[in-house]
Amino acid sequence: MTRFNQAMCALLPITLLAGCATAIAPVDVTRFHGEGVARSGTVHIVPANPADEGSLEFRTTANAVRAALTRTGFAVLDEGVRRGDYEAVVEIGRQTHQPGRTRSPVSVGVGGSTGSYGSGLGVGLGIDLSGKPKPIVASRLRVQLRRMSDGTAIWEGRAETQAKEGTPAAQPGIAAGKLADALFRDFPGASGVTISVK
């Protein structure tokens, strides 16, 4: 094996790890709460917009929030039950935007050299054939926990992540699970601080 091949083999695992690291977009999470936030109790989940209650997207997101709340220590009531200690108001959003090119699709380079065997001048033309960048899907989740007795909000959090359109991470179900898990991790979290969760 040549030295070049040995060097390439040594770099291959690093390259693969770098590719994996960049494929997983972090979730930006911000939470707000006062002192002594409850870590247990019964909760029912409702949409911020009542019109979303029957939608597949809300049910998918509600299931993700249910799993996250259960891991935190809360007991989530069955769908449609309007009683309990707390109400989790869930708001979801997805937005797609087209990123611009970071460089020109065509580049021209000029190079020259001089030496004992003469001089030379070369012109190089480079064309970017990668095509138009894929659209980016931004997924957002906001949850507010309210006391049922008086409607007071005791905790609120929001989370956002981005993924290229068409990738698994951009699918609503996967994104909802990722957002809910990040939002309720280390509940209740530091108040007023934005963190990145991988």
Q: 94-109: per-residue pLDDT in tens?
A: 999 887 755 555 545 5
Correct CATH for 27-189 of 3.40.50, 3.30.70, 3.80.10, 3.30.160: 3.30.160
Asked if the model's pLDDT at residue 132 lies above 80, the reply is no
Q: What are phi and psi of 104, to 5 degrees?
A: -70, 145
Instruction: Band the pLDDT of 126: cuts 50, 70, 90.
Output: low
The structural domains of the chain, with segments of one domain joined by +, span 27-189
Give the pLDDT confidence score for residue 79 in this predicted structure: 79
Say what the pLDDT of residue 118 is: 54
Q: Which residue has the higher pLDDT, 145 or 13?
A: 145
**What sign has the CA pseudo-torsion 118, 123, 129, 132?**
positive
Q: Is the pLDDT higher at 80 or at 8?
A: 80
